[in-house]
Amino acid sequence: MRLTKQTNYAFRILMYCATNTAGLSRVAEIAKAYDVSETFLFKILQPLNEGGLIETVRGRNGGVRLARPAAEITLLDVVRLTEDNFNMAECFEKDASDCPLVDTCKLTAALREALNAFFAVLAKYNVEDLTRPSEHLSFLLGIDEAGPRVAAH
C-alpha cells in the first residue's frame, strides 16, 4: 500500500502546527518550509478542517492551528481523512466478480488482516509522537519560540 502525497503533506502540516507552539501558522510559511505550493496545501487543509483536525482563522493575521491537542490526533485519523480507498487488490472492490475465488479466497482474508494491522499501528501513534522533542524540528522548519521566521525584504 502506498499513501498519497496529500496524506504525506497532511502529516507535515499537522507536524508544523504542532511544532509552532507560539500560535497560528500561515500557509505561506508551511509551504516555504516544505518547498511546496500554497495552492496544493490549501487543497489538503479543507479535509483536515472539515474533519476537525485543524481550525482556520481568517483575516490579515489569520492562519491555521491544531483543533485539538497533538496527542489526540492519531495517524489513523489523518489517513482516514485523506485517503480515498484502501483497496489493496482488485478483489477488495465491491464489483469484484471477475475472479472465481472471490467468495472463498484466502488471499483476500490475508490482505484484509494485513490492512487491519496497518490501521492498528497507525492508531498507536499521534502527531505529538512525531514532533517531540520539537527543538530540532523547530530549527529545521524555521520556527523559533517567537513564531515562524519571517524573511526580511
Q: What are phi and psi of 38, to 5 degrees?
A: -65, -40
CB atoms within 10 A of CB 45: 20
- pLDDT of amino acid 43: 95
Average per-residue pLDDT for the chain: 86
Is pTM beyond 0.85 here? no
User: Comparing C-alpha atoms, which of 125, 133, 123, 124 is closest to residue 19?
Assistant: 133
| Domains and their CATH numbers in the chain | 5-148 (1.10.10.10)
pLDDT score for 88? 67
Residue 149 is predicted with a pLDDT of 46
Low-confidence ranges of the chain (pLDDT < 50): 146, 149-153
